[in-house]
Amino acid sequence: MAALAALITLLAIYGLYSRQRGESEAANSPSAPGGLFQEGQARGTSLTAVGRANGLAQPCTAWLLDTGGQADDAAHAVTTARCVGVADSASVLSEQPTPGAEVQFNTFASLTSAARVEPVVAPVEQVVWASAVDTDLAILRLGRTYGDLEAAGVRPIAVADPPADRAILVASVPVEGIDVAEQHLRGGRCSLGESTAVGESVWLWPALSASDCDGILGGSIGAPAFNPAGQAVGIVTTTTIAAPEGPDCSAGRPCEVSDGSVTVKADTTYLLGVADLARCFSDGRLDLAGSCRLPDADSAVPARALSPAGRPGGTLPVAVDVTDPADLEAKSGPIGRVECADPDDWDAAEVGPDGSVEVPLPDRAGPALVCVGSASRSTAILVQVDGTPPDAGAIELEQTEVAGGISVSPIPDPPELVSFEWVSGPEGTIDCATAEGYAPYPGSPAVIPAADLPSTVCVIGIDEAGNRSAPASITVG
C-alpha cells in the first residue's frame, strides 16, 4: 500500500507539473526553472530523498541511495564526480574527506508563506568513491544512518532500468539565477531518447541518454530521474541548456558523437543510467568486486593533458604517472574516428624529464581524442585541435588611473585569449606590426607614466592551442 500511495502521489505531481509549465510562454522556456514541489505533494515519496549538496566543489543535487542494507547502516548519497571536484578522465577517488560538506533533504516549498519547511541535514563524511572514467558518479557516505533519516521522513531511493515508454520525472535543486529563498526542489516531466556517446571538456562518455528535460540550471547536475514508481533510472550529467558559445564539445557545450560526426543539440539534457548501482553494495557497504561495473584505480593510466588544445599536426603535452614508462604508448585522432580500446595505430611514447609525453595531434581541426597507455589499459582525453588565430579586434585593455599614470592590463577571454605578449611606446613612435621587444604579459598590470601619455600599447593574444593573433594597437591616455 505504501508503494501504491507513492506511485499515486508521483503521478499526481506529474500532472500538476504539466499544468504549471503551461501557464505562460516564459514558463515553457527550457532555461526556466522547473515547477516547485510543495511539501504536501511530496511527503512520503522518493522526492524527500533529493537534496541540495553544499560544500562540495560546486553546487549540485544529490540523492539518498537505497543500498539494500540495514537501518543502522551509514547512509549513502549519489551525485556526479564533477560535483566533488574530479577534473580529469583518469582519476578514481576513494575515501576522500569532505569537511563542512552536507546534503539538505526535504527541500520543499511550503504550502503557505507562513509555514517554512525545515530541511533534513546530513553531513557528508567522505567521498567513498568517485570517477569520470567512462562515467560521472560520486558516492558519498553520510554522517547519519538510514534509520535515522527515514525516521525524519527521508526515504531512500531504489534504482531501476528506464521504463519502457521512456517517460521520466527529473527533480533537482537549481540555484543559478534563483533567489536563495526560492532554492527549493523543482522538477519536470520529460522523456528519455536514444543512447549516444557524449563529449565535453576532457571527457568522452560512451553511453548517455539524451532527453528533452527542461529547467536544468546550475545546481541541477546530479539530479535523479524517476520512473512513476519513484525509482531512480538515471542521473543528470550535463546539458546544452544555456550552453555558451565556443568550440563544440568544450566545457559547458557538450556534443553528441556518432560515426565521426559531432553535433551540439540545443536544449538537450544527458543522463547516465544508474540501475547497475544496485550491484555495487554488499551488506550496506560499497564493494567494487563481483558484478559491480564501476571502474577501480587500475581502470585507467593516470594521465592529464597539460593544455586543453593544440594546433593541427602539432603535439600536445600529457602528464603521466606510470611505474614502467618503457611500455607507454599513445595515439590520437578526430573524435568518433579513433577508439582507445582498438589495438591499431598505437605508437611508443617517450616520457620526458618533466614526466610528460608529447602526443602527435591530427591534421584536421576540431575535437580530437588522445589515448595514453595501451589498448588494454588506457586513458581517453578529449582535446581541441585549433588552427585559427584569435581575432585581434577582440583584445581589450583594462585601464585605471593611478598615481603617476595609468595602469593597464589585457583582459583574458578563454579559450580564445588566455595569454598575451605586449610592448608599448609613446603615441606616434611605435608601429605594432613591426615593433620589436614584445614580452610575455606577466599576469599583473603595468603602469604607463603620465610623461609618456598618450601611448600606444601593442598586444598579441594567444589562445589555448598556442595560436597567435595579429597585433592589436590600443591608445592609452
Output the pLDDT for position 250. 94
* 15 neighbors 188 (Cβ within 8 angstroms): no
Residue 399 and residue 378 in one domain: no
**Count of structural domains, the chain:** 3
* Domain extent for 368: 303-385
CA–CA distance, 7 with 16 (Å, rounded to integer)? 14
Cβ partners under 8 Å of residue 387, min gap 6: 311, 312, 365, 465, 467
Residue 249 and residue 329 in one domain: no
Residue 76 and residue 218 in one domain: yes
Q: For residues 207 and 298, which has the higher predicted lDDT (pLDDT)?
A: 207
Residue 165 and residue 71 in one domain: yes
Quick check: 24 pLDDT over 70? no
Query: Would 297 be classed as within a structural domain?
Result: no
Residue 344 and residue 272 in one domain: no
Residue 149 and residue 252 in one domain: yes
Mean pLDDT score of the chain, rounded to an integer? 91
Domain boundary among 334, 358, 385: 385
Residue 185 and residue 327 in one domain: no
Residue 233 and residue 379 in one domain: no
Query: Would 293 be classed as within a structural domain?
Result: no
CA–CA distance, 91 with 110 (Å, rounded to integer)? 41
Output the pLDDT for position 112. 60
The three cell numbers locating residue 246: 565556443
pLDDT in tens, 209-254: 999 999 999 999 999 999 999 999 999 999 999 999 889 999 999 9
Residue 356 and residue 398 in one domain: no
108 residue type, one letter: F
pLDDT in tens, 162-210: 999 999 999 999 999 999 989 999 999 999 999 999 999 999 999 999 9
Residues paired with residue 139 on neighbouring β-strands, in sequence order: 78, 129
CATH number at residue 374: 2.60.40.10
Grade residue 113 by pLDDT with cuts at 50, 70 and 90: low
Cβ atoms within 10 A of the Cβ of 251, count?
17
* 237 neighbors 208 (Cβ within 8 angstroms): yes
Residue 167 and residue 195 in one domain: yes
Residue 280 and residue 406 in one domain: no
Kindly write down the DSSP assignment for every residue of 261-286, as one continuous string. Answer: EEE--TT-EEEE--GGGGGGEETTEE
pLDDT in tens, 401-442: 999 999 999 999 999 999 999 999 999 999 999 999 999 999
Output the pLDDT for position 27. 59
